[in-house]
A and B are shown apart, each in its own frame.
Chain A
Amino acid sequence: MDTVIFTIVSLTVLGFLLSLILYFVAQKFKIVEDPRIDDVEAIMPGVNCGGCGYAGCRAFAEGCVKAENLDAMFCPVGGNETMQKVAGYLGIRVEEKAPRVAVVRCNGTCDNRPKTNDYDGYSSCAVMASLYAGDTDCRYGCLGQGDCELSCKFDAIKMNPVTGLPEVDAQKCTACGACVKSCPRVIIELRNKGIKNRRIYVSCINKDKGGVAKKACAVACTGCTKCQKVCAFDAITITSNLAYIDYNKCRLCRKCVTECPTQAIWEVNYD
């Protein structure tokens, strides 16, 4: 019986002492943080993708609370909905930003852009790009090893084995920018999703002279400037033999699509 009493008493005293120590330590080493950071973090999607430019959702929440206005802050995954909630919680206003989506600016499929050699190295676009100009005659086009697919945390970009090009699922894409960074040729661009999810873009980034580009790929942009001449909104610029459509100026009239002699300009979601 004595042992039992002794055990109970000694353990109780020990427990009490230890909890006292814990209490004082917790008080001494307490980090005072703005309690709003926790609340803003709760609003975040919690994916920690880094698409906002911060090291995770908590860091972004901290940035939001500390910032004077939210104009420079945007969570691509949560989008405008999340940013409005954060703004509402913090009691400030923020402008809605146009939703964006990743766009693959290359249409060099196996049919359009024939292979001129066989690559037998490690299956990585980064390795292939550092080794040589690629397995086709186009020095700028997609290398097809799928670094973009590996980089996507949302399962939104997948390599199509038939065409050899990546395809973006606009529903899943959060425009976080991971695929843009992973492509050594900078083929992928974040562009506005567009009204009714419609977009128009030049699906080529070949900067070689027209003759060279066309020889390498049947649907290359040759920099012929026909699209620029027909655009009534000044949305198209031609630099280094390549046309580029500014998505902020484009009115989706589609005149350039029909005008392009190599069908290098694409229209999405028009049927």
Chain B
Amino acid sequence: MSTVSIRAHAIARRFDDEQAVAGVDLEIRAGEIVALVGLNGAGKSTLMRLLLGMLRPDGGGAEVLDCPVAVADRAVWSRVGHLIETPPRYGELTVAESVYSAARLQGWDRGSARVATAATIADLELEHWQHRATRTLSLGNRQRLGIAMALVHRPDVLVLDEPSNSLDPLGVVRVRQLLRMRASEDGVAVLVSSQHLDEVARMADRILLLHHGRILGGLDPHGADVEHQFFQRILEADQAEQRPR
């Protein structure tokens, strides 16, 4: 059985009086694509930030590549790629400079970073824009750039928050193919969040439904109607919460 690349146990985080993540248990194995779905404000981005050490949990904890996130060092993080919420915003840098800088900051030497930059730009079909300042890119191409920056150093773990946001249909297919290829051929563990149920059903091996900061369970990506499963689970959870004890 493949190894667990991301593990969370009873991880929780509160913002003032809002319990954003309320004790989530999670395991993602190498070579597996897991999708997090949920309504706006369900806690998807907060959970991803907790897994990446961007936020400190109030309770529980997480491990990435068998290392507790709280003490993870460059050896661990150099094997992780991520894109959280917004694509990169250094508008003055070109596409090629942005991807190259991402590789360098991940510890790659200059020569390897240049080679990897060219290959990743080709993978994301960004060649035409590679010498353009990123501020001139469309939102969709900025999103492709963000994904390129997350992939350039060939990480073993990928955490992508709504990667298909703003992408055109061709971009959605390209990103899906890339992620599936990285997962199946390189054994990359992929966690994605999305609002597009059809898309995650095509991409993911497992779908986890997050609601009010809790995992309500899995949805079957190969089931007849993922959308129906999604609303049914949420309705049941909301009714259970309102039911008198």
A binds B: no
Interface residues of A (CB under 8 A from B): none
